[in-house]
Amino acid sequence: MKRREFLKTAGVGLAASTAVAAPAIAQSMPELKWRLTASWPKSLDTLFGACTTFAKYVSEATDNKFQIQTFAAGEIVPGLQVFDAVQNGTVELGHTAMYYYIGKDPTWALFCAFPFGLNARQQNAWFYDGDGQKLIDDFGAKVNLKCLLAGNTGCQMGGWFRKEIKTIDDFKGLKMRIGGWAGKTMSKVGVVPQQIAGGDIYPALEKGTIDAAEWVGPYDDEKLGFYKVAKYYYYPGWWEGGTTNHLLINQQKWNDLPKAYKAIIEAAAGYANVEEQARYDSRNPQALKRLLSNGAILRPFSQSIMEACLKASNEVNAETSATNPNYKKVLDSIAAYRNDEYLWWQVAEYNYDTFMIRSRTKG
């Protein structure tokens, strides 16, 4: 074959191969624009920050082919309607705490936080290396939702009270904003639980519509200004030993994604999961110092209160498990996992941390 004819033939072949390759690449990396609605106001840069972090990394990993626009609570739907908005396809994505949706099924609380449940590291272990992700995949698929870890607050505080809580009887008749499944336990000890979105708590506390409120911990609580209207700050938040926030994805939209995009979403959600807790761990100490300097009075729940609440929580779990097989299945998995985890914690983590804390107080 003559040189000129060869180059001409090769050129045609190259053009043909390029024509075939281009559509294949375009198909594997389509241009998508999705929307994410959150349960949080933008002022909470820890919680809403997980949304922006997630969107940023998805966009950068796809060279801006997959763009996600984030919306705070109320901009598309109210903060407590994220589940429905994602489920019915109003938006493709949501960021929320699953215990907001106990009205649909209390099992959702177990995937987020419930009284005397797993701490933050144990939550991650259960989801990533235990049965947690499989269980929530099976449960979520029934309602058109894919759920991925995308944040954890760590152990929360016990909330802000207008008066001291010295005994379990001081809870009787108390109107308290308390999220999720914990309200069921609190009602057994006399509290009248109120579920109110984050941005609406302060005015309710200020007006006296409620007597007490819990949110997360020092950094967020300072931003929301609770110390200005209730001075007693209790700990620990035994109902939220490690609160998992989830990225919700419309199941049909998830199923239609290329594998590469699914992998990127999982990786970005995983980073947001780690970053959110790191921010809380980093920012809470200084915020607590500022709250105390501004007049907050720090108090622990007494041992007798803790024991009474544990008893009430066990009763709630037993009653719910007796009538809800999904709840029992997930709770049984968590309970067994928690027992093994605390065997290890007792040997190493607890002893190390206790020694270091005592050493710190000795200077």
Average pLDDT over residues 262-291: 98
Nearest partner of 190 among 176, 210, 201, 208, judged by Cα: 176
- Does the pLDDT value for residue 1 go beyond 70? no
- Give yes or no for a contact between 225 and 202, defined as CB atoms under 8 angstroms apart: yes
pTM of the model: 0.90
Q: How does residue 197 score in pLDDT terms, banded at 50, 70 and 90?
A: confident
- Does the pLDDT value for residue 22 go beyond 70? no
Q: Which residues, in sequence order, are CB contacts of 51 under 8 Å at separation 6+?
A: 36, 38, 40, 70, 95, 272
Q: How does residue 198 score in pLDDT terms, banded at 50, 70 and 90?
A: confident
Rounded CA-CA distance 91/81 in Å is: 11
Q: What is the pLDDT of residues 300-347, one digit of tens each?
A: 999 999 999 999 999 999 999 999 999 999 999 999 999 999 999 999
Give the chain's mean pLDDT.
92
DSSP label of 116: T
pLDDT at 163: 95
Rounded CA-CA distance 42/251 in Å is: 26
Q: How does residue 18 score in pLDDT terms, banded at 50, 70 and 90?
A: very low
Average pLDDT over residues 129-137: 98
- Does the pLDDT value for residue 23 go beyond 80? no
pLDDT at 29: 86
pLDDT at 196: 84
Q: Which amino acid, residue 148?
A: L
Q: Which amino acid, residue 185?
A: T
Rounded CA-CA distance 327/93 in Å is: 25
Q: What is the pLDDT of residues 53-106, one digit of tens each?
A: 999 999 999 999 999 999 999 999 999 999 999 999 999 999 999 999 999 999
Q: Which residues, in sequence order, are CB contacts of 131 under 8 Å at separation 6+?
A: 333, 337
- Give yes or no for a contact between 160 and 226, defined as CB atoms under 8 angstroms apart: yes
- Does the pLDDT value for residue 212 go beyond 70? yes
Q: What is the pLDDT of residues 236-258, one digit of tens each?
A: 999 999 999 999 999 999 999 99
What domains are there in the chain, each with its CATH number? 32-153+242-282 (3.40.190.170), 159-240+296-361 (3.40.190.10)
pLDDT at 80: 92
pLDDT at 363: 65
pLDDT at 27: 55
